Amino acid sequence: MSEEKTGAQIMCEALIREGVEVMFGIPGGAIMPFYFAMWEYRDQLRHVLCRHEQGAGHAAEGYARSTGKVGVCIGTSGPGATNLVTPIADAMMDSTPLVAITGQVSSAVLGKDAFQETDITGITMPITKHNYLVKRIEDLPWVFKEAFHIASTGRPGPVLIDITKDAQQARMVPDWDVKLNLPGYKPNYQGNRKQVREAIRLLMSACKPLIMVGNGVIMSGATEELRALAERTGIPVITTLHGIGAFPEDHPLSIGMPGMHGWVHVNRAIQECDVLLNIGGRFDDRVTGKASTFAPNARVIHIDIDPSEIGKNVKVTVPIVGDARMVISALLEEMPDRSELATLHSHASDWMEHIREMQATHQHKQQYIARPDVPMYLPPHDVYAALTRIVNQHGNYRIVTDVGQHQMWAAQLIDWHRPRTHITSGGAGTMGFAVPAAMGAAIAHPDETIWAICGDGGFQMTNQELATIVQEGIKNVKVAIINNGYLGMVRQWQELFENKRYSGTPLSGPDFARLAEAYGVRGITVEHTDEVADAINTAYEYDGSVVIDFRVEREVNVFPMVPQGKSIGDMITESPIV
C-alpha cells in the first residue's frame, strides 16, 4: 500500500475512489502525464476520446444529467481548457454535477506566458461552483475528494481542477486519509419545520393553489414524494422546462409547462393563483416573463437548496431552504388528516375545473399536435407527433434536445413521463449541446435509445462527435435534425418583431444524411410527412447510431409565445383566440 506513485497515478486512483467509470477528454502537452498513467487503469477508468473539448464537456453533462452521478471531462492547458469553458458555464447554469480536469504548465513557468498557458482558474472563477489550482502532488488526494463532494452535494455544479504538469509528474506515497475541510460549505438539507408548518397553513388557506416544480425535484429524486403531495392535496402541478419528467404528464393533476413557450392555460393559472408553491425552481426569466407582473395575486412558498435563489427574482412569503425530497417529505409528515384537507380539496377541484376550461378554450396540446391548417409538405409538428407515439411505444428512451425552436416543440409536444428522460440546455441555452450530451447519456445507458433532437444550426456546431460515437462503437444514439435552413428561433423573432428582416439567420448546410454516412453512421433524409414514421422505425430497427434529416417547412413558429419583457398573461398564439 505504501508504494510510491506519480501525481498522475494518484489522480487516477482518486477518480476510481470517487466511483468514476468513464471520462471524456482530449490529451495535450500539459495533461500528458495523466494520460500516461491512465493507460494502466484503463480497465477501471474508461476514457472516451472526443473531437473537441466542448463535446467532451457536454458529453460529461449528458452522462451526469441522465444518471445523477458526477460527469468528468478532461482537457489540456490553454485552448484545451478554454474549449471547456462553454460546457462548464452550461453546467453552472443548470446545476449539473461536473468535474473538469485540466493540465497546467509546470509551476516553475506558471504566470510567465509559457506555451499553451491560460489562467483557467481565473477564467472559470465566476462559472464554477469552486475551482482549484494544484501545484503540489501532496494536495491531490484532498482536492479530488473536496471537488467531488462539492460538485455532487447541495446545489450541484461544476468544479474545475487545474493541475500543473510537475505535480502530475512528482512522486510520493499518497496519503488517502484526508478529511474534508470546508467550514464555509454546509448545505442545509432539512427544511426548517416551523417554515414547513407555515407553508402548510398557507396552502390550507388557498382557493387557487398551484405547485410548480423545477430541476431540484429531479436532482433530489423527489418524484414519488411530489406525486404523493399532489395527490394528497389535489393541487394542480406545473413542470418547468427543467422540471419536465418530475411529474407524469398523463397524471390528472398535471397541467403542463409555464413560461415563454408554455401553455396559455398554465400561464393564466399562474396569473390567477393565490398560493404558488415552487419546489426546486429558480423563477428564471423565461418562466416569469416580466417578473414584476408575475403571479400578482399569489403568496409564494419557495423551496430551494440554495438560499441565494430565494427572493432573487420573485418576492417570497414562505422561504424554505432545503433539499426538495426532504422538504416534501416534511410537508407530508406535517400535513393534517384527510378530513381536515376537505376544504382545500374542494377548492383545488373547482380550481382545476376552471383551469381545464381555460385549457379547452385556448390551445390544447392535442389540438396543437395536429397539422397546421396551412398546407405544408412537412410540418415539424408531424415529426413530433410521430416521435412521441413511437418512442412511447418502444419505451426505455431519453431525449436530449439542443437549443431553439425544436427544443420548445419537444418540450411542448412530446409526452413526458419519467425523470431524467428530458435533458436539455436550459439556463445557458447552449447550441451544440444535444449530440455530445446524447453520446454521454448513451454511454451511461447502453440498453436505452437516446434521441438527440437538434436544429440544423446546433447540429453543425458539434456534429464532429459522430466520429467519437463511431470510434466508441456507440449504437444507441439516434439524431433527429429538425432542419429548416434557418437559425429558426432568431428568425421567428425577426419575423414577429423585426418586420422579417432575416439578418444572419438563413443557414445552409451539407447533406446531413451523406455527412452521417461519411462518419460511418446511418443517414436518412425525410421530406414528406408520410415518410416520418418509417424513418423513425428504421432508426429503431437499425443496429447502430442514426441521423435523420427531417427537412421541415422552413418558416413555422413556436406558439404560444410571451414576447420579451411582457407579462406571461400576454401570450400571442397563431389562433385569433386569446
Partner 1 sequence: MKKHTIVALMQDQPGALNRAVSLFRRRGYNIASLAVGHSETPGISRMTLVVESDDVEQVVKQLYRLIDVVKVSDVTDDPTVDREMALTKVHTTSATRAEIATLADIFDAKVVDVSTNTMIIEMTGTPAKVDNFVEVMRPFGIKEMMRTGRIAMVRGTNTHRGAEYVESNGHVATGAVLN
Grid coordinates of 530: 408520410
Task: Give yes or no for residue 308 binding partner 1 (CB under 8 A).
Answer: yes
Considering only residues 16, 173, 180, 342, which one is a binding residue for partner 1 as defined by CB under 8 A? 180
| Contact range with partner 1 by CB under 8 A, out of 315-323, 357-365, 371-379, 541-549 | 315-323
Quote the least distance from Cβ 502 to partner 1, whole Å. Answer: 34
- What is the rounded distance in angstroms from the CA atom of residue 203 to the CA atom of residue 192? 17
Task: Give yes or no for residue 312 binding partner 1 (CB under 8 A).
Answer: yes
- What is the rounded distance in angstroms from the CA atom of residue 428 to the CA atom of residue 386? 29
Q: How many helices (H) and strands (E) does the chain have?
A: 24, 20
Q: Between 53 and 146, whose beta carbon lies closer to partner 1?
A: 146
Quote the least distance from Cβ 289 to partner 1, whole Å. Answer: 20
Quote the least distance from Cβ 142 to partner 1, whole Å. Answer: 11
Quote the least distance from Cβ 132 to partner 1, whole Å. Answer: 9
Q: Between 238 and 277, whose beta carbon lies closer to partner 1?
A: 277
The active-site residue out of 40, 44, 115, 231 is: 115
Closest CA to 463 of 420, 411, 519, 542: 519
Task: Give yes or no for residue 307 binding partner 1 (CB under 8 A).
Answer: yes
Q: Between 131 and 233, whose beta carbon lies closer to partner 1?
A: 131
Task: Give yes or no for residue 181 binding partner 1 (CB under 8 A).
Answer: yes
| Contact range with partner 1 by CB under 8 A, out of 176-184, 285-293, 458-466, 490-498 | 176-184
Whether omega before 319 lies within 30 degrees of 0, making that bond cis, reads: no
The β-bridge partners of 158 are 98
Task: Give yes or no for residue 183 binding partner 1 (CB under 8 A).
Answer: yes
Residues of span 24-83 touching partner 1 by CB under 8 A: none
Q: Is 116 noted as a catalytic residue in this protein?
A: yes
Residues of span 188-247 touching partner 1 by CB under 8 A: 188, 191-192, 195
Q: Between 287 and 305, whose beta carbon lies closer to partner 1?
A: 305
Q: Using alpha carbons only, what angle is made at residue 273 by residues 271 and 275, rounded to the nearest 5 degrees?
A: 130
The active-site residue out of 32, 36, 116, 358 is: 116
Task: Give yes or no for residue 185 binding partner 1 (CB under 8 A).
Answer: yes
With beta carbons less than 8 A apart as the criterion, state whether 259 and 267 touch: yes
- What is the rounded distance in angstroms from the CA atom of residue 117 to the CA atom of residue 409? 42
Grid coordinates of 188: 442545509
With beta carbons less than 8 A apart as the criterion, state whether 523 and 516 touch: yes
With beta carbons less than 8 A apart as the criterion, state whether 484 and 554 touch: yes
| Contact range with partner 1 by CB under 8 A, out of 53-61, 85-93, 304-312, 507-515 | 304-312
- What is the rounded distance in angstroms from the CA atom of residue 294 to the CA atom of residue 281? 15
For residue 289, give the 3-state DSSP assignment.
strand
Q: Is 500 noted as a catalytic residue in this protein?
A: no
Q: What are the backbone angles phi and psi of residue 104, rounded to the nearest 5°?
A: -130, 155
The whole-angstrom distance between residue 15's C-alpha and the CA centroid of its chain comes to: 24
The β-bridge partners of 567 are 289
The whole-angstrom distance between residue 536's C-alpha and the CA centroid of its chain comes to: 24
Task: Give yes or no for residue 321 binding partner 1 (CB under 8 A).
Answer: yes
Q: Is 489 noted as a catalytic residue in this protein?
A: yes
Quote the least distance from Cβ 558 to partner 1, whole Å. Answer: 31
Q: Is 11 noted as a catalytic residue in this protein?
A: no
Task: Give yes or no for residue 176 binding partner 1 (CB under 8 A).
Answer: no
HSE value, Cβ hemisphere, 13 Å, CA-based, for 531? 13
| Contact range with partner 1 by CB under 8 A, out of 20-28, 181-189, 339-347, 352-360 | 181-189
Q: Between 143 and 480, whose beta carbon lies closer to partner 1?
A: 143
Closest CA to 377 of 486, 527, 488, 555: 527
114 CB-near residues (< 8 Å, 6+ apart): 105, 106
- What distances in angstroms separate CA 263 from CA 159, 358, 463, 578, one per listed residue? 36, 10, 32, 12
Q: Between 185 and 540, whose beta carbon lies closer to partner 1?
A: 185
The active-site residue out of 5, 129, 145, 165 is: 165
Task: Give yes or no for residue 360 binding partner 1 (CB under 8 A).
Answer: no
Grid coordinates of 157: 455544479
Q: Is 115 noted as a catalytic residue in this protein?
A: yes
Binding letters toward partner 1, positions 120-149, x by CB under 8 A: -xx--xx--xxx-x----------------
Enumerate the active-site residues.
53, 115-116, 165, 489
Given the rule CB under 8 A, which residues bind partner 1?
121-122, 125-126, 129-131, 133, 150, 179-186, 188, 191-192, 195, 306-308, 310-312, 320-322
